Every structure is written in C-alpha cells, then in structure tokens.
Structure 1
C-alpha cells in the first residue's frame, strides 16, 4: 500500500494514470502530452510499473502501458474506512447536538410543562 501511495502522490503520475484509465498508450504518446522531458516521463512510468499500477508490453518498437487498478484496492479500503469513521462521527455529533438542544428546550419550559409532557 505504501508503494501505491508514493506512486499516486505525484501529480504527473496521477495524470498518467488518468490518461491510461481511458486507453492504453505508448511511452511516446504519454510523453507527448507533457512539457517535461522524456527521461523524466520514463522515470515516472518506471515507478508506476514498480508499484504495480501499470503494466507494459513491448509491441514492435513501442512499449505500451495499461492501467492496472488492482493495487489500489488496499488503499481504497483503508481510505473508505477513514471516511466511514468520519461519517459516523458526524452522525454522532449531530445526535449529541440534538440531545443538548432538547435538554435546553425542556429546561427553558420549566418543570410543570415537562411533567405534563410525560403524563400525556
């Protein structure tokens, strides 16, 4: 999971992954969409390949890259777990706010009105 997190931390690599999501591309086609040097793109592609996020295949004189989203699964599971905890905490915070609001309203109504509410 750490290798994948490092791989997607860079905006150039994220853009490459987005491009490969739509279609397999040659290294030259990928490099042609950036203003940085081809050797720099090659280093990004190597890191993506080593993390397992892309697979490559030699076709003739070209190296074709394809996205492999499989290694993202553990990271997605971990992130989903964080988001779920956050969502639960927000629901609990909202419940706590409602409990305090109800208590405040009952105190402001006074004891006689509170007793009538429970006997009705």
Structure 2
C-alpha cells in the first residue's frame, strides 16, 4: 500500500511539474511575449552600441587633442586644447514672428483671400 501511495504521489508531482513547465514555455512563445523579448534585446543592444560610441568619441577626441598638442609643439604654436566634447545644440520650437515666412501668401492679390481654405465661402 505504501508503494502505491508513493508512486501515485510521485506521478502527480511529476505531472504538475511537467504541466507547469509546458505552460510556462507556451506563454514565452506567444507573439506578445516574443515581441517584448525582442524589444528588450533591441534596447539592450542599443545601449551597448551607444556606450561604445561614446567611448569611441572620447577616445577619438583624446587622441585628436594629443596629436594637436604634438603638432603645436612641433610648429611652435601655443594654442589651448579643449579636451571636452562640445555642448549639444538645442533648437527652439518658437519661430520668429518677424520672419517673411509668416506673411500671407496672397497679400497683394485681391482675387485670393487671406485664408484660401475657408469652407464657409460660396463656391
């Protein structure tokens, strides 16, 4: 009797374990899960590439500064070498209202109204 109970319990535990394992694998193979995994790996790869690019940029800048210093010494120039990367440029989203781009297209022509897309106008 003890043997039957032992093997029955072992079979049930094995079945539960196998079912859990199969269900977990099936959830990993759904399109949503595969897309999320691919996105995560792409983000990780992008981060690694960005880190390498930044390291490369600093190395190039450092070697460039060294070479400029060598050339400056060889030519007798006393120029200051800037070892930092230049600041990133920031562009504003506000346009200059005095620019000619904001003038009406047909300002002088009376045949064309200032708003050529008026839907309330009789055609």
TM-score, reference length from structure 2: 0.40
Greater share of strand: 1
Q: Which has the larger radius of gyration?
A: 2
Q: Between the two structures, name the one with larger relative contact order (CA 8 Å, sep ≥ 6).
A: 1
TM-score, reference length from structure 1: 0.41
